[in-house]
Amino acid sequence: MLLGSSMPVPEKLDIHSESFLRSLMRRQFRLSLVCAAAFMAGLFGLPLANYFLPDLMGARVFGFTLTWLILGIGFFPLVWVIAWLFIRQSMALEEQEVARTGRRSGPAELAGIEADRRSGAGRF
Amino acid sequence: MRIDLYILAFSGVTVMATIWLGFWAARKSKTAHDFFVAGRAVSVGWNASAISGEYLSAASFMGIAGMVMSVGYDALWYPVCYACGYLFLLLFIAGPLRRFGAYTIPDFAEGRYDSPIFRKIAVVFVLFIGFFYTLPQMKGAGTTLAYIIPGLPYWAGVVLVGAVITLNVALGGMKGITLVQAFQYWAKMFAISAPILVLMAVYGHYGHQLRQAGSMSSGPMLPEVRSVQGAAGSETVVTVRRALPEKAPTDDAWLNPFGPLTTKAAKAAKLSPEQAKPYSLLYTYSLIIALVCGTAGLPHILVRFYTNPDGAAAKRTTMWVMILIGTFYAFPPIFGVLGRSLLPELYAGVGAKGTDKIVLELPRLLNDRFAPLGSVLSGITCAGAFAAFMSTFSGLLVSMTGALAHDVYGRMLRPQATAEQRMRMFRWCAVLLGGLSIIGGMQVEPLQINFMVGQAFAIAAASYFPLLFMSTWWRGMTMKGAAVGMLAGGCLALAAISLTSFSDLKWVDLGIFWAAHPFLRILCEQPAIWAVPLAISLMVVVSLLTNAEVPLDVRMKMLVLHAPERLGLKQEYIQEHQQAR
């Protein structure tokens, strides 16, 4: 694979290597999967609870049935918490990956990103 | 019934503000880049409001309330999964897609597999799912206008609203739309929350209303509570329930899980409630899968991720979108619950006069006690409904028009077209697609808004979601695998859904067949439970069979998809590609 000449050498870790990609994808996928599992446990668990524990789920809480309260109101905050944790973790993960490669944004890349931003008209 | 001036005034102001904003933004968007992805530099707050504004469609604003009112608990899955689907998008798709960087889904399809043919297939699907999703928006428009101006036929509303939005999109492109949609989110949020808070203050809060709904649950069929109609003047009226008409479900069925929505097929087959329960469970799961995966696959939502400055911003945007839409979705079911006790007459209506208009009609009850407050609040919800279908329809029209102008015209028909020609084409495509949507929208009056949206989600879930998920996370995918899986999943889901819709519209008579096979009826009405796994397995099998055709630089592609943007792999990838050509 061709490497651009502007790249800072030496590198701690070859970012084009198979092992880097493998570990990168595995770590990100594991994080996503853990979060998804937490959320799906709730999503797929509730119908089962309704099915097998109708009396408990039909119990009244502040006028709501328990299951109505969980589904109609309780789910949204749960999703927010999972999303927040995921975003925090995945940002940290990216930070680690960048540190691991030792390839900080060189001036070339920064210029590239800036140009990308500037090519569109300003924001409003 | 005569025209209510408050309602007319509020709706008029919303429409005017939308059009004005569109024109204002149109003057500011000059280049082709602006037209397609808003210059790719929209700030997180704007973008999150705009995505939410686009996402909260007529189904969310009117449909959910109507459906909660008509079928009860089971309808709650819709708002929850509409919101939760976003989490899926965030976890698996949003970041990688943005890092890869392309204008549209067809761009992604082509870039990931280096295949112009696959781009064409993806374009067809963008147009197709988008079109399916515009129909319920059109129904919302027709219903609302028929409510605001009594006597106006349903089709006139569809034509009027359709024409206004089409004009807006043709003039403003994506950038105009971003601003308009951000404004519309806040309009909708206010319009759904303010009236319901007032209503709850007057008639009793959410839980109180639900307690009423269940307290007489064991009684005979109907009516459970007899009450004095029109007794709204007295102070004690607050807790009195009106008699339910013949067509309303019983309290028990309405309040508890596995109610009329999910047991319909089993009921038609004359199964006992106990026998029907496993069928209901199946229906519920299939619905959940369709809604959650469908969100992650809706093309007009995905295109918005490209308007974020970088991947981190895309993630922050998704977080905000979830908060914005989650807060919103807590409100519509309350309308449904209050509607059941306060406006049961709507159960008897069909089409534009049925439960789908509960959000518009309910606040008017306040006129009995605090005139003209009821009309003002009803005017506000009408304005919100306008904002709802206008913003979603605009977004869809932009993504469909983008596909047609950018992909079909700009890449396939005339790759050498100048920027100016492309912009002119964008406008013509908008007019063409707007016209088609209006014609389609005129046909769907008998179908429930929310139901139609669920169907569009099921098709997206069986086609786009597997494509995006597998292309992002599995290196072994080949173009053939991706295409076969997406086409088979999408087309089979569509065929199954069309079959049930056609028989519901009485175009084909399958009543006897469905009664004999409730299991098949559920699998056809809610195909996601088999169509999503089918699409994914086809992708795996066909990709393995054709594994010689895995793109040569797949490792680099995967790196671009997954490595942090700061490593600058994207620039490198582009350079390599240019050298290769």
- Give the global pTM: 0.83
Give me the pLDDT at residue B241, please.
62
Q: Contact, A81 vs A74, CB < 8 A? A: no
What was the pLDDT predicted at A85?
92
Chain B contact set for A4 (CB, 8 A)? 572, 575
Q: How many CB atoms lie within 10 A of CB A16?
A: 17
Q: Quick check: A63 and B207 CB within 8 A?
A: yes
d(CA B352, CA B360): 11
ipTM (interface predicted TM): 0.81
Task: Compute the distance between CA of residue B282 and CA of residue B522 in angstroms, rounded to an integer.
Answer: 8
Collapsing DSSP states into helix, strand and coil, what is residue B329? helix
> CA B574, CA B581: separation in Å to the nearest integer?
11
CB B384 within 8 A of CB B18: no
**Is A123 inside any structural domain?**
no
Full pLDDT tens readout for chain B, 581 residues: 567 777 788 778 877 877 777 677 666 655 555 544 544 556 788 888 888 888 888 778 888 888 888 888 888 998 998 888 888 888 888 888 878 876 567 778 888 888 888 888 888 888 888 888 888 888 888 888 888 887 788 888 899 888 888 887 777 655 556 777 788 888 889 988 988 888 888 887 787 777 776 554 433 333 334 344 444 443 333 445 666 776 777 777 788 788 777 777 777 777 777 778 888 889 899 999 999 998 877 766 776 666 666 767 777 888 888 899 899 998 999 988 888 888 877 777 766 677 878 888 888 888 888 778 888 888 888 888 888 887 778 878 887 888 788 777 777 777 777 777 877 888 888 899 999 999 988 888 877 777 777 788 888 899 889 999 999 999 899 999 999 999 999 999 989 988 888 887 777 777 788 888 888 888 888 899 999 999 999 999 999 999 888 888 888 888 888 888 777 777 777 777 777 65
Choose, out of A76, A80, A87, A93, the residue to mutate when testing the contact with B (most B CBs < 10 Å).
A76
Searching chain A, which residue's CA lies closest to the CA of residue B41?
A123
Indicate the residue of A50, A73, A105 with minimum beta-carbon distance to B330: A73
Please give the distance of CA B451 from its chain centroid, rounded to a whole number. 10
Q: Which residues of B touch A30 (CB under 8 A)?
A: none
- Interface contact B312-A51, CB threshold 8 A: no
A11 within domain boundaries: no
Evaluate whether residue A108 is within a structural domain.
no
> What burial class does residue A31 get, using C-beta atoms within 10 Å of its C-beta: 0-12 exposed, 13-18 middle, 19+ buried?
middle
A10 in any annotated domain: no
Q: Which two tokens stand for residue A30?
A: 């594991």
- Best of A34, A64, A105 to substitute, by most chain B Cβ atoms within 10 angstroms, is A64
Measured between CA atoms, how close is B92 to chain A, in angstroms?
6
CB contact under 8 A, A25 and B572: no
Residue linked to tokens 């210059």: B39
- Assess if residue A70 is contained within a domain: yes
Q: In which domain, by residue range, is A61 found?
A: 20-100
3-class SS at B284? helix
Two tokens, residue B121: 């297939």
Chain A partners of B206 at a C-beta cutoff of 8 Å?
63-64
Provide DSSP, A34-94: HHHHHHHHHHHHHHHHHHH-HHHHT-EETTEEHHHHIIIIIHHHHHHHHHHHHHHHHHHHH
Question: Minimal Cα–Cα distance from B8 to chain A, Å?
Answer: 31
Residue A104 has pLDDT above 60, yes or no: no
Confidence bin at A59 (pLDDT 50/70/90): confident
Distance CA B398, CA B301 (A): 11
Q: Which of A5, A94, A97, A104 to mutate to test the interface with B (most CBs of B within 10 A)?
A: A94
- Number of folded domains in chain A? 1
Residue A113, pLDDT score = 44
Q: Under an 8 A CB cutoff, do B87 and A108 touch?
A: no
Among the partner residues B256, B285, B333, nearest to A72 by beta-carbon distance: B333
Facing residue for A83 by CB, picked from B87, B214, B576 = B87
Is position A124 within any domain? no
The burial class, CB within 10 Å (0-12 / 13-18 / 19+), for A122 is: exposed
A122 versus B378: which is more confidently predicted? Answer: B378
Pairwise CB contact (< 8 Å): B319 & A83: yes
Task: Tell whether A106 is covered by a domain.
Answer: no
Domains of chain B: 5-213+240-550 (1.20.1730.10)
Query: Does residue A55 sit within a domain?
Result: yes
Please give the structure tokens belonging to residue B354: 């049925």
* Cβ separation B91–A15 shorter than 8 A: no
Per-residue pLDDT at A121 exceeds 50: no
Whether residue A112 and residue B31 make contact (CB cut-off 8 A), yes or no, is no
d(CA B19, CA B266): 47
